[in-house]
Structure 1
Amino acid sequence: MPTIDVGDGELWYEEFGSGDEVVLSCAMGFTAGAYPQVLADPPTGYHVYTIQARGFGRSTHPAEPPAIGWLDQWADDVCAVADRLGLDRFLYTGVSHGAGIGWHLARRHPQRLKALVSVVGTPHDRAGGTESSEGRRRFIAERHDPAVVTSLLEKLAGWTDDPARLESRRARFAQAAQEAADRPEDEASINQGKPFPEARTDEELAEVYRGLRLPVLVLAGMRDGVISPESALRAAMHVRGAKAVLFEDEGHMVGDESADRLVREVRVFVDELNGVAEPPVRA
């Protein structure tokens, strides 16, 4: 698969689809066949680029953490990739920490974004500090203990009483626990922290949102064990013109478990932006 030279390193990416609507997404890694790759499938048919974040996999591994912080660095990297691809503006979407990258993009480079689609990734509640979540710190410290990793993943995913989903999670979490134990030390120690760490309180975080001026779609799960419904609503309440969809029966794994549900909402949102959405049916 190809890499792009961004001046001070190389970033590995994959390309899906060939539609007119261009979508970029960045994360530590992507699961094959999950969101946002599904955005390239019919009937949506977007042109999607997924970018592996600096510090992971086949992308450049810096010797030291970026001076500007991981989330700002990754946001700048997305724009550097867009520059190399000849893209002036694009849709950005991300899941979890990938959405955190999007929020930093929205603040640092709003002119580059047609819109932001944040999936289970609105900036965390400020309770418990602003540097990083307790779960992330514990995951890094105890990643060699499969029981601890599995327990943390179960809490993160959120509860479900769907037998098929429970069985799927058991297999997925077992694989993830093994991958965590095998991950190279330089990757395993990366802790990007909470988005917008300078916002010390929820009200200060709301003030950051009020400074953003771009279309935003927030997709969230009511059963999410790390990003609370209040976090999603806070963004929807304070980013002017934002739209939010909260799924009662989804949690933090919605990108893997219900990609099609997300894609339908994204398609409606983008059609609205483009002025081609069907008018509502009125009685």
Structure 2
Amino acid sequence: MPHMPVDDVSLWYDEFSGEGMPILASASSFEPGGYPEILSRDPLGRRVIQIQARGWGRSTHLAETPPDGWLDTWADDVCRVADELGIDRFVYTGVSHGAGIGWHLARRHPERLAALISVVGAPHDRAGGTASSAGRAAVIAGRKDPEVIRAQFGKLAGWTDEPRREAGREHMFRRMIDTFAGQSEEEARINQGKPFPEARTDEELAEIFRSIRVPVLILGALRDGVISPEATLRAAVNVRGAKAVLWEDEGHMMAGESPARLAREVAVFLSEIEGSAHPADGIVSDTFAP
């Protein structure tokens, strides 16, 4: 996992070798064995690059918000990394705020995208304005308190009565508690807000969706405590040619809880837009176990 000098910062990234159109992803961090990594393995075998967004982890930390804002800057960083690696066009995928990066890519650099795959990251409803949620503010303020982290992410994840998922979720919460406890002051202050903050109403947001002209797969969770089903459907019905898959039994943490389920849908989608046979049947089921 090397550093790459980009602009005036250094970005930490992971690369998994493979064939076909490269898949790029960006986020604050990535789970080992997450769905982007699964996409690099047999049977799909894609080249995957995971970029730790500036401001987080081993990438350069910033004392102030970038002049262009976080989401536009992170979107530009994805293109900068692609340029350094000699990648002209790519599939982009991201989860939550990582999906927000992808939506900004689709509007800011559509010529670079072969497709966008958004996971629990359709731009939020405009209710309450365009700033980040009160829940995010609570996490920032209480990030050293394990009970604050557990309570807040428990709300986001959504309820479950599946014992295997509960066991896996508890393991995930413990990792989150350790991660937030170790964050620097610069990381803790990052507050990117909602994608497309210039859209003040849901109809203005729909207008932005109608301007997007890249293939889009929207993967949503109906028990999501962050992105409402209405927000997911708003994107799906306004992005021309979009495909949406929504699961009743998933919440906002589905990328950590059900990575193989996501990878299978991505494999089907890529086969559809590329006109190839899809190997999704070779992706094993999730167990929800740590």
Q: Please give the TM-score of this superposition, normalised by the length of structure 1.
A: 0.95
How far did residue 167 of structure 1 move?
1.9
| Aligned residue in 2 for 1:77 | 77
The residue that corresponds to 2:228 in the other structure is: 228
Does the Cα contact within 8 Å between 1:220 and 1:246 map onto a contact in 2? yes
Tell me if the contact between 1:11 and 1:58 (Cα under 8 Å) persists in the aligned partners: yes
- Partners of 2:257 and 2:66 in 1: CA distance: 33
Instruction: Look up the SS of the partner of 2:25 in the other structure.
Output: strand
1:88 aligns with 2:114: no
Rounded to whole Å, the distance in 2 between the matches of 1:172 and 1:217 is 26
Aligned runs of 1:199-278 on 2, under 5 Å? 199-277=199-277
Q: Does 1:186 align with 2:186?
A: yes
CA distance in 2, matches of 1:116, 1:171: 30
- The Cα shift of 1:256 comes to 1.3
**Contact 1:221-1:251 at 8 Å conserved across structures:** yes
Q: Judge which range, 69-78 or 33-42, deviates more.
A: 33-42
Query: Within 2, Cα distance between the matches of 1:193 and 1:221?
Result: 20
One-letter amino acid of the structure 2 residue matched with residue 183 of structure 1 = Q
Q: CA deviation at 1:174?
A: 2.6
The 2-side partners of 1:175 and 1:115 are apart by 31
Task: Give, in whole Å, the separation in 2 of the partners of 1:38 and 1:67.
Answer: 35
Conserved? CA contact 1:128–1:134, under 8 Å: no
Deviation at 1:9, TM superposition (A): 1.3
Cα distance in 2, alignment partners of residues 117 and 188 from structure 1: 27
The superposition leaves residues 16-62 of structure 1 with CA deviations (integer Å, 9 ceiling, x where unpaired) of: 13212200000000010112111111111110000000011111122
Residues 66-115 of structure 1 show CA distances to partners (whole Å, capped at 9, x for unaligned) of 01100000000000000001111000000111000000001100000000
Opposite residue 247 of structure 1, the aligned amino acid is: W
Q: Deviations over 1:166-192 (max 9, x none)?
A: 122123213312321221111111111
2:273 and 2:76 mapped to 1: Cα distance?
Answer: 25
Partner of 1:281: none
2:21 aligns with 21
1:131 is matched with: 131
Distance 2:219 2:50 in 1: 19
In the alignment, structure 2 segments of 5+ residues that lack a partner are 279-290
Match of 2:283?
Answer: none
Q: Distance in 2 between matches of 1:170 and 1:272?
A: 36
Distance in 2 (CA, whole Å) between partners of 1:200 and 1:7 is 31
**1:215–1:241 contact (8 Å) kept in structure 2:** yes
> Alpha-carbon deviation of 1:197?
0.9
2: CA distance between counterparts of 1:179 and 1:263? 25
Q: Is the 8 A contact 1:11 1:53 kept in 2?
A: yes
State the secondary structure of the residue aligned to 1:249: coil
1:277 CA displacement: 4.7
Report percent identity of matched pairs. 62
Deviation at 1:158, TM superposition (A): 0.9
- Equivalent in the alignment of 2:9: 9
Partner of 2:288: none
| Contact 1:22–1:46 (Cα < 8 Å) also in 2 | yes
- Structure 2 CA distance, aligned partners of 1:248 and 1:133? 23
Task: Write the mapping of 1:146-161 to structure 2, written as runs, cut at 5 A.
Answer: 146-161=146-161
Cα distance in 1, alignment partners of residues 30 and 128 from structure 2 = 28
Partner of 1:145: 145
Q: Distance in 2 between matches of 1:47 and 1:212?
A: 25
- Cα offset for 1:15? 0.6
- Give the CA RMSD over aligned residues: 1.2
Residue 244 of structure 1: how far off its partner (Å): 0.2
1:33 and 2:33 aligned? yes
* In structure 1, C-alpha distance between the alignment counterparts of 2:276 and 2:20, rounded to whole Å: 14
Counterpart position of 1:42: 42
Distance in 2 separating the partners of 1:145 and 1:5: 34
The alignment's TM-score, normalised by the length of structure 2, stands at 0.93
Secondary structure of the 1:4 match is strand
Alignment match, 2:287 = none
**Which AA in structure 2 matches 1:221?**
A
Other structure's SS at 1:36 match: helix
Whether contact under 8 Å (2:169, 2:257) holds in the other structure is no
8 A contact 2:172–2:256 mirrored in 1:
no
